[in-house]
A = this chain, B = another copy of it.
Amino acid sequence: MTRRYKAQPSPLTALRMRIPARKALEPDMRKYFAICDQKIGFLPNVLAAYSFDPRKLRAFVDMYNDLMLEDSRLSKLEREMIAVVVSAANRCYYCLTAHGQAVRQMSGDPSLGELLVMNYRVARLTKRQRAMLDFAHKLTVAPAETGAADRRQLRRAGFSDRDVWDITAVAAFFNMTNRVATAVDMMPNEEYHALSR
């Protein structure tokens, strides 16, 4: 697996940042990377890119894992759907590739992943999903206009106040990572393209 990582032929990003060898990582991060290798089959480039600075890597991993993997009334698939809809609005190549694949895999429906990448409005969704994605989309493209009326729409679709926080937090997080990935021209791992088709 280390081999695959080292062999990465194209640069991770447009910035020349010295990426440490894996063995130079702190033990818990080395372990985390190994788990990625196992579970995903490769190390997502975003993690390699952030590893130039241990503190930034850890802050990113902690926030990501809390939002996407910890307890929430939003299912993991729903969180990935938000990730894709936000990334589509921002046209982030890295995040659309990685999280589009996650939606294809978790939903077992390849065309759902494509729909969310291309135009989520066209997808056949439940009322709950539609409300969730409409909120995430508006918060992305018109944050200054998102407010009480939009929260009401979420509540009408059955979401609690805590759910509103979680939808918000995931949508906001990808508004951050989309901008990091695009600004530094981060390239996704080639492996994503063929998976879960």
Contacts and interface: CB of A to CB of B under 8 A. Distances in A.
Contacts of A171: 179, 183
Interface residues of A, number: 62
Interface string A152-170: 0000000001101100110
A66 B59 contact: yes
Given A122-B93, A122-B185, A185-B148, A172 B168 contact: no
A56 B56 CA distance: 16
B121 A144 contact: yes
A132 interface: no
A148 B97 contact: no
A57 B97 CA distance: 29
Interface in A73-108: 90-93, 96-97
A111 B190 contact: yes
B62 A161 contact: no
Interface string A121-145: 1100000000000010001100111
B197 A161 contact: no
A35 interface: no
A29 interface: no
18 contacts: A59-B59, A59-B62, A91-B119, A91-B144, A92-B144, A93-B119, A110-B193, A117-B117, A121-B144, A139-B183, A143-B178, A143-B179, A146-B182, A148-B185, A168-B180, A172-B178, A172-B183, A175-B176
Interface of A: 14-17, 55-56, 58-60, 62-63, 66, 70, 90-93, 96-97, 110-111, 114-115, 117-119, 121-122, 135, 139-140, 143-148, 150-151, 161-162, 164-165, 168-169, 171-173, 175-180, 182-185, 190, 193-194, 197
